[in-house]
Amino acid sequence: MSVPALEIEGLEFAYPDGRRALVGVDLRVDAGERVALLGPNGAGKTTLALHLNGILAAGAGTVQIGDLAVDASNLAEIRRRVGLVFQDANDQLFMPTVRDDVAFGPANLGLVGDALAARTDEALAAVDAVDLADRAPHHLSGGERRRAAFATVLAMRPDVLVLDEPTAGLDPAGRREVVTVLDSLPIMQLVITHDLSFALELCERAVIMDEGAVVADGPTADILADKTLLARHRLELPYGFDPTFLRPAHPV
């Protein structure tokens, strides 16, 4: 079997106050897959994401990115391989211009001159943000800031992209920009979202977490069509939304 882009086995984590946030999580995601990570607030989704690039360290179990274990000896390479896009794009944009922000990570890898400029331009082009390069991040719209934040991560050429609520706070046009960008990226994506229609549009597979554990894993349309499952884990579809319209008809 090929090496998965992401493999988690038996992952457990408790916060200093004793609250168990992750309880034996197992998850495998192959290269190129887009997986929606769903669940109520407090389910452990963001805690799980913070283990993928070593911001948090597991109490038990393992996390593997490709052929590399997430541990203290590998953190520099792990953080290059795993691009984490925070819910608030302002957490990732702090330089005078978008170009400066996008160049920041590769410059810290040692790129300079033409090589740095080429890497920066490549990342901006990947998210259709070349026209934003010389603008100040705080002058951008919500959707533009989100695309700029994506570019800062893509400039590191990650193997895995982890996104925390990428459509939160966006108007419909900004949301459409995010869908278009993410749909065009060939790398593995783990997308934490409460936007179930967005999950169905972007991701063929969905995973539900609750109380620190994976409680469901399957095709997104099937997961969202199970009203009992959704209700059990405090998930609710938009009014009038039918998730079965994208599900292939079963042969008679």
Other CB atoms within a 10 A radius of the CB of residue 96 amount to 12
- Mean pLDDT per 10-residue interval, the chain, length 252 residues: 90 93 96 96 95 91 95 92 90 93 94 96 94 94 91 95 92 89 93 94 96 96 94 90 61 40
The sign of the torsion formed by the CA atoms of 107, 112, 114, 115 equals negative
What ranges do the domains of the chain cover? 6-235
d(CA 95, CA 99) in angstroms, rounded, equals 9
In this prediction, residue 243 carries a pLDDT of 78
pTM of structure: 0.91
Cα separation values, 51 from 18, 62, 71, 91, Å? 18, 10, 10, 18
**Tell me, what's the pLDDT at 195?**
93
**pLDDT value at position 169?**
87
Q: What CATH number matches the domain at 6-235, 3.40.50.920, 3.40.190.10, 3.40.50.300, 3.40.1710.10?
A: 3.40.50.300
Token pair in block for residue 121: 């331009």
pLDDT of residue 246: 57
pLDDT at 245: 65
Q: What is the pLDDT of residue 250?
A: 42
